[in-house]
Structure 1
């Protein structure tokens, strides 16, 4: 990872009110994300906040999409909704981009790739909620786009612990380095 040349970025994905709240008011849930965010800022690594949200009336949602069509039927998750705003515990600074996506992958319908390429970023540090959703989808697409990838395994969270474990231990290592937030910090201090 060559962060001295601005080639690495941290993606904090789906750390928005409506998703973080599913895990209750447990402060320990957001601690690894906060630590990763602090490490990135201390090392001048760009941070991108990725959120999922939809326009009023849900024009981006197709009825064949089981998950997102259910959201459009029940309401909420629009761009102005509180549920799509970045969680206060990892509040973006003025110079940090908030990127909206319309599917699971951080690249789906967003400006993420254009921004990364324009800034010469070729290495991504992935973290987010959920491991089986945004992290998996983004990892697969980013690997296909030839980004160098690192997954912060303790800064990924999933409602299904078994699925999380299989992804972290068996699936992700095929396409990414999988390390803890602390191990990532140690690589930057060398």
Structure 2
């Protein structure tokens, strides 16, 4: 187990926290990492393994527009572009991700994992007000979901080692600006 994650988890009041991994799904890995498996998956599995002893929820929130794209809208430019790929019909997790049967999986009809899902309500019912988050891509799901969660007054811990964006300049810029003002960067 990675001592880095254990040290950082010890800094979090885990009794009111949940771990959320966003868009760690087969379609994303196929599109972005078809040529090589990135160390990102190993980092995510280390984070999950470090989190499990807390006994707190592990949540996987993946983008899915439905088998027949029933959640797609032709008014949403991003969604329209993604439907042309033939992907994102289901929230199938990435192969090799350390998922257990009791983990929660959300199929998210938009990039923001809270939009169109019961995620926020489910967290509220459990008294969860602290989120440990990571995701692919920084300029998409991470930015959108962190912004929403910040506006909903969650305390957010964003795990940098487990975030990725194909545009490194944008990725670095977001961590310096938008993320740093909304989350504690781990």
TM range (shorter): 0.7 to 0.9
TM-score, structure 2 normalization = 0.87
Q: What does residue 96 of structure 2 align with? A: 89
State how many pairs are aligned: 173
Distance in 1 of aligned mates of 2:56 and 2:133 = 13
Deviation at 1:59, TM superposition (A): 2.4
TM-score, structure 1 normalization = 0.86
Q: Does the 8 Å CA contact 2:48/2:98 hold for their aligned counterparts?
A: no
Which range moved further: 33-42 or 70-79?
70-79
Which range moved further: 26-35 or 70-79?
70-79
Q: What runs of 5+ residues in structure 1 fail to find an aligned partner?
A: 180-190
Aligned pair partner of 2:52 in 41, 44, 67: 41
Q: CA RMSD for the aligned pairs?
A: 1.4
Aligned pair partner of 2:125 in 115, 118, 126: 118
Distance in 1 of aligned mates of 2:85 and 2:18 = 35
CA shift in 2, pair 1:63/1:26, >3 Å: same
SS in 2 for 1:174: coil
Q: Does the 8 Å CA contact 1:172/1:178 hold for their aligned counterparts?
A: yes
Q: What does residue 70 of structure 1 align with? A: 81
Instruction: Provide runs of 4+ in structure 1 moved above 3 Å.
Output: none
Q: Does the 8 Å CA contact 1:23/1:29 hold for their aligned counterparts?
A: no
Deviation at 1:65, TM superposition (A): 1.3
Alignment of 1:141-180 (within 5 A): 141-179=148-186
1:55 to 2:66 alignment: yes
Q: Does the 8 Å CA contact 2:40/2:161 hold for their aligned counterparts?
A: no
Q: What does residue 186 of structure 1 align with? A: none
Deviation at 1:74, TM superposition (A): 4.1
CA shift in 2, pair 1:67/1:118, >3 Å: same
Distance in 2 of aligned mates of 1:30 and 1:72 = 25
SS in 1 for 2:160: strand
Distance in 1 of aligned mates of 2:156 and 2:125 = 18
Q: Does the 8 Å CA contact 2:133/2:156 hold for their aligned counterparts?
A: yes
